[in-house]
Amino acid sequence: MKDKVVVITGASSGIGKALAFAFGREQAIIVICGRKAEALETVSAELDQQAIQNRWIQADVSREADVRNLIEKTVQEFGRIDILINNAGITMRSMLLGMDPNVIRKVMDINFMGTVYATRYALPYLLESKGSIVGISSIAGYRGLPVRSGYSASKFAMNGFLEALRTELLDTGVHVLVACPGFTSSNIRYSALNQAGEVAGETVRDESKMMSSEEVANHILKAVKRRKRDLILTTQGKLTIFLNKFIPGLMDRMVYNTLAREKDSPLKKG
C-alpha cells in the first residue's frame, strides 16, 4: 500500500474513518470526503498526528459535480488514483405504507448514485493504475430487510452495478470488491431517516454486540490486498445469505421475527 492513493467517500466517521487509518498505517496516501467540513478537518488532524499523508475534500456524493471535483482535485494533487472505496451511505427505518417516497430517493441518491458517480469519474485513472474499486455494501444487499426497504434496494443496486462492472472490466487488471459487513457499530443508525425523511437521532439496536468499525476496516484492507471478489462479514451475515438461497420462505419469517424485536419496531411480534 505504500504511496498508493486511496479515495474514501463518507470518511468523517464510522467505517470510512476507520478505513482511512487502516490504509494510512500501511503508508498509503489518503483522500477523504464527506458533507461536513468541520468533521473532515478533525479526522484529517487525527491522521496528521499519526504521520499519515492525507487530504480532505468536502463533497456530497449525491451531487455529481461534487464527486467530479473530488476526483479531479485528487488527480491534480497526487497524479493518480489506486483505490476507490465507495463507503458513503445512509439508512432509513420505516414501513413503506405512510412513508414519503422521497426518503427512498434520497437513500438511493447517496448509496447508489454516489457509487456510480465516483466510480465513473475515477475509472480512467483506475484503469491506468490497475487499481481497486471497493463497494461497502451490506447483508441487506443480498437479503431484503423489512422496515429498511429503501436501504435494501440501494444495496441490491450497488451489488448489481459492481457485479456488472466487474464483468465489463475482465482482463483490464482492475479489481472490484463488494464488501458486506453485518450490523456494525457505527453512527449510521443514529442518522437513519424516518418516514418523513427526518433524522431519527437514535439507534434501535445494541451497538455493543456488533463488530467494530475498526475490525471491519481491517478485514477490508486484507481483502483489497488479496484482491478478493467478495467479503461477507459476521457469522450472522454469512448464515443469512446461505439460508436465504435454500429456504427463502422460512427466512422471511426468521428475518421478520428478528427485526420485530428491535426497539419501537412497527412490525408485530410473532
Which positions are catalytic? 151
From residue 56, alpha-carbon distances to 2, 173, 178 in Å are 19, 28, 24
The total number of residues written for the chain in this structure: 270
Q: How far apart are CA 231 and CA 159, in angstroms?
A: 12
Using alpha carbons, select from 143, 211, 133, 210 the residue that is nearest to residue 179: 133
Q: Where are the beta strands (DSSP E) in the chain?
A: 5-8, 29-34, 54-58, 83-86, 132-136, 175-180, 184-185, 211-212, 230-232
Using alpha carbons, select from 235, 195, 225 the residue that is nearest to residue 102: 195
| Cβ neighbours of residue 49 closer than 8 Å, sequence gap 6 or more | none
Q: How far apart are CA 61 and CA 7, in angstroms?
A: 13
